[in-house]
Amino acid sequence: MIRWLIYGMVYAGSALMVYNIYGFIRFVRYVRERGNWDKKSALLNVPVILLCLFLLGYLGVGLFGKPDLLVAGILFGGSIFVFVMYLLLSRITAQIIKNEHLEAELKASEESNRVKNEFLATISHEMRTPLNVILGMDELAQMNPDNPPETQKQLAKIGSSGRYLRNFVDNVLDIQNMETGQLPVREEDFLLSNVLKGLSTIAGELAGEKGIGCEFRIADGIPDKLHGDGQMLEQVLMNLIDNAVKFTEKGGVEVEASVLPSDSERCLLQFIVRDTGIGMSQDFIDKAFEPLVREDGSSTTRYRGIGLGLTVTLEKVKLLSGGIRVDSEKGKGTEFTVIIPMKRREENEKEQEVSLENRRILIVEDTPENAEITADLLELEGAETEHAENGQIALEMYSASEAGYYDAILMDLRMPVMDGLEAARRIRALDRPEAKTIPIIALTANAFDSDVRGSFEAGMNEHLIKPVDADLLYATLKKMVRRK
């Protein structure tokens, strides 16, 4: 019985060694196909040769020797050890190859995202540049008191359509920034009255085009001087107002602003946007904030848009640490309620009223039409302007000027010869005291968060995105001049 066991272990070990040899041959072939071994490929044959020699030894012991239980156990254990090593090497190699595939997929994904970001950045820049000209010229044209009423209406429609296109571009870029976690929240002082005034003007124009009413109700006691992201707050409300006007054919839109009880350091602003439009079904309300979702998704729908506005709105409300609620009934209208916490502005000193009258602004812009529009807008406020076609010329003009000659610099980013970032860095590095403090404001179509960070890292004080609102441009310049 013992003899049968001994020879059984020897021949079982031999059979397992045959399988090990077969496995290592497959393993060597597998590795050789996936690596450039060149002259070193002969090393891969060494384990197979050694295993074949072991197999001959096993067979020699079994056929011609007289093994005892100890020798049989060693031979059988050796086969099991080689088998385990083969499995371990196979698993390690497979995991390495899997990791290489994952790394390759990650690199491909990163490259795809890089190309997509570059594409979106280019599209944004190329769309915003003509948009800036269209909206700027339209705004200047509407200021002409000699316009006939019909021309004024046409200009208003051009402006409204341009702002809609700008809002659409903003929403697409915001979706991209949200995917990458790069949608920044600014911390700056702003006036709530300016935000509501601008919204009231735009909302009135949008509603007037459709022949419906638009009413703003602002409760008493709302603090005007706040600290936070006023621009993002304005975008949230603009998306809701645009949505309300879009889906309302009869009746009108109401916007209510009030303040809820809160502590002394911050205030809870409540905004209600109410319309008498088509409303939403209860089933759709739960999906209203999902991207690219519309209750009427047919291609023949008469309501413009692709369903991004509410998605962006919800994410921005979350970024502002606020909340949003929607109440709606099909055929009767919709009501959005937004609550946003904002800090009250801390006033350590009395702010001086500043004017742009006789202030000299250097406009650095390679597109003549954009430079002309910016100059015209500033001259309406009494400012004096000079123009540099690129960063190199701007650097030379500033270097040759007397101390205090320029009050501020408006700097485009994408320009030939020398871009705006390099020009800002070189101006800040000049050996003259005011070079460190002169306000440099980016005025650009580059709208990504990385562009904003790049502007500040280059030494700029603010980053305005084309097409810029005239009031925002004036307010930013006044703020910078006041600080100076």
Answer whether 237's CB lies under 8 Å from 338's CB.
Answer: yes
Hey, what's the torsion of the CAs at 428, 430, 436, 438, to 10 degrees? -80
What CATH number has the domain spanning 360-483?
3.40.50.2300
Enumerate the domain spans of the chain: 2-108, 162-344, 360-483
Answer whether 234's CB lies under 8 Å from 244's CB.
Answer: no
Output the pLDDT for position 324: 92
Cα–Cα dist 454/449, whole Å: 8
| Residue 111 C-beta-side C-alpha neighbours within 13 Å | 6
Cα–Cα dist 456/186, whole Å: 13
Output the pLDDT for position 464: 87
What tokens appear for 421 in the block? 């970032």
Output the pLDDT for position 67: 78
Output the pLDDT for position 81: 84
Query: What's the CATH class of domain 162-344?
Result: alpha beta
What tokens appear for 274 in the block? 């109410």
Output the pLDDT for position 375: 92
pTM of the model: 0.57
Tokens 């595939």 belong to residue = 101
Answer whether 412's CB lies under 8 Å from 365's CB.
Answer: yes
Output the pLDDT for position 299: 39
Distance of CA 420 to the CA centre of its chain: 21
In a structure prediction context, what are the per-residue pLDDT tens digits for the chain, which is 484 residues long?
A: 677 788 788 788 888 888 888 888 877 777 777 666 666 667 777 777 888 888 788 778 877 777 777 777 887 888 888 888 888 878 887 787 788 888 888 888 878 777 776 776 677 677 777 877 788 888 788 878 888 888 887 887 787 777 777 777 777 777 666 666 666 777 877 888 888 888 888 888 888 888 899 999 999 888 888 888 888 898 899 889 988 988 888 889 999 999 988 766 778 999 999 999 888 887 777 777 776 555 554 434 555 554 566 888 888 899 899 999 999 888 889 999 999 999 887 655 455 567 899 999 999 999 888 899 899 889 989 999 999 999 999 999 999 999 889 999 999 998 999 999 999 999 999 998 889 999 999 998 876 767 888 899 999 998 888 877 787 888 889 888 876 6
The span from the first CA to the last CA of the chain, in angstroms, equals 103
Beta-bridge partner residues of 409? 362, 440
Cα–Cα dist 240/326, whole Å: 11
Output the pLDDT for position 329: 87
The DSSP-derived string for 299-359 is TT-SS---S-HHHHHHHHHHHTT-EEEEEEETTTEEEEEEEEEEEEPP-SSPPPP---TT-
Output the pLDDT for position 298: 45
